[in-house]
Structure 1
Amino acid sequence: MLGKLELDQIDQILANNITGRIGCTDGKKVYIVPVSYAFNNTYLVIHSKEGMKINMMRQNPHICFQVDEITHPANWRSVILWGDYEEITDPKERFYAMKFLVSRLLHLQVSETAGISEMHGEMTRERTPENIIRPIIYRIRISEKTGRFEST
């Protein structure tokens, strides 16, 4: 059976997962890449190093995001959302966003590219040394979300 997910099911999938794929564009090419995230029922909190994805989202903040739960080719749930990239630059707000993200990911076995140890280290230092590249902490303010499923 194919079906459409209800909003509470969509939020549950977003809350239960930590890895999704973000899609962004510079108007010429589309770039889709996996990211680790935390969901707080209003927006996604994500971090990244400077690079193509951040440059594209700074240029065009409209993004698409996807999370899948696949247990079998005929049993899956998929969520897609659209929203806007917002870089978090205020030091206090940035600290709490990092704290939220780290607390969600710290006890899980996540990819080395998630950079949890670096963020945790940055949160415990009074000052970040000049030679350390700080991650970009940002949120995706969700404007629309939808979800589908298939179950046998």
Structure 2
Amino acid sequence: MAIRTMTHHECVEMLNAGHYGHLACCNEGQPYIVPVYFVFDARVAYSFSMPGRKVEWMRENPRVCLQVEERQLKGSWRSVILDGKFQELPDNDTWHEERLHAWSLLQKHRDWWEIGSLKPDAVPPSHASPHLFYAIYMNDVTGRAATQIDL
């Protein structure tokens, strides 16, 4: 097995192609990681969620990371980690355009809403939808790739 560091371009290319990853956040020294569906556009990962632990923790500590992986044939793999800052995109005048942009990118993909909207417990009915859109603004991105070497 040969492992190499991916270039910045390769990392961004993988984020552009990927839509499923794992979002890690931390609150009071306790890490938390969850699967998320996202789209990546111009140094920003956009996603969708219902209220819950992940959103509460990101509001408290906006420093997060998004990990995306890809397994290939014969044991080869690639993994990218985007370090960034959480920004909620509320439905108001300030964030209206970016919220619409996030929705327009996400809705192009089948079942984009499932991971962020399905909960094990019923969500109490309300007059306004409790769902939210958010962005992860990229600070840094790193990646590694492994290739199986046949001897």
Instruction: Decide: shared fold, TM above 0.5.
Output: yes
Q: Which amino acid aligns with 2:98?
A: E
User: Which position in structure 2 is the counterpart of 1:13?
Assistant: 14
Q: Which amino acid aligns with 1:138?
A: Y
Q: 1:67-86 alignment to 2 at 5 Å?
A: 67-72=68-73, 74-86=75-87
Scaled by the length of structure 1, the TM-score of the pair is 0.81
- When residues 73 and 81 of structure 1 are mapped into structure 2, their CA distance, relative to the original with a 3 A threshold, is farther
Q: Which amino acid aligns with 1:4?
A: T
Structure 2 stretches lacking a partner, 5+ long: 118-124
Q: 1:69-108 alignment to 2 at 5 Å?
A: 69-72=70-73, 74-89=75-90, 90-103=95-108, 105=109, 108=110
User: 2: CA distance between counterparts of 1:82 and 1:42?
Assistant: 11
User: Which position in structure 2 is the counterpart of 1:142?
Assistant: 138
Q: Which amino acid aligns with 1:133?
A: S
Identity %: 29
Structure 1 stretch 32-41 or stretch 84-93: which is displaced more?
A: 84-93
**Would you tell me which structure has more helix in proportion to its own residues?**
1
Instruction: Find out whether 1:60 has 2:56 as its counterpart.
Output: no
User: 1: CA distance between counterparts of 2:112 and 2:96?
Assistant: 26
User: Which position in structure 1 is the counterpart of 2:129?
Assistant: 133
8 Å Cα contact 2:82-2:138 kept in structure 1: yes
8 Å Cα contact 1:23-1:63 kept in structure 2: yes
User: 2: CA distance between counterparts of 1:83 and 1:45?
Assistant: 12
8 Å Cα contact 1:11-1:41 kept in structure 2: no
Q: How many matched pairs?
A: 136
Q: Using the TM superposition, give the Cα deviation of residue 135 of structure 1 relative to its aligned residue in structure 2, in angstroms.
A: 1.5
User: 2: CA distance between counterparts of 1:41 and 1:93?
Assistant: 12
User: Which position in structure 2 is the counterpart of 1:33?
Assistant: 34
Q: Which amino acid aligns with 2:115?
A: T
Provide the aligned C-alpha RMSD in A: 2.0
Q: Using the TM superposition, give the Cα deviation of residue 23 of structure 1 relative to its aligned residue in structure 2, in angstroms.
A: 0.3
Structure 1 stretches lacking a partner, 5+ long: 116-128
Instruction: Find out whether 1:46 has 2:47 as its counterpart.
Output: yes
Q: Which amino acid aligns with 1:150?
A: A
Scaled by the length of structure 2, the TM-score of the pair is 0.81
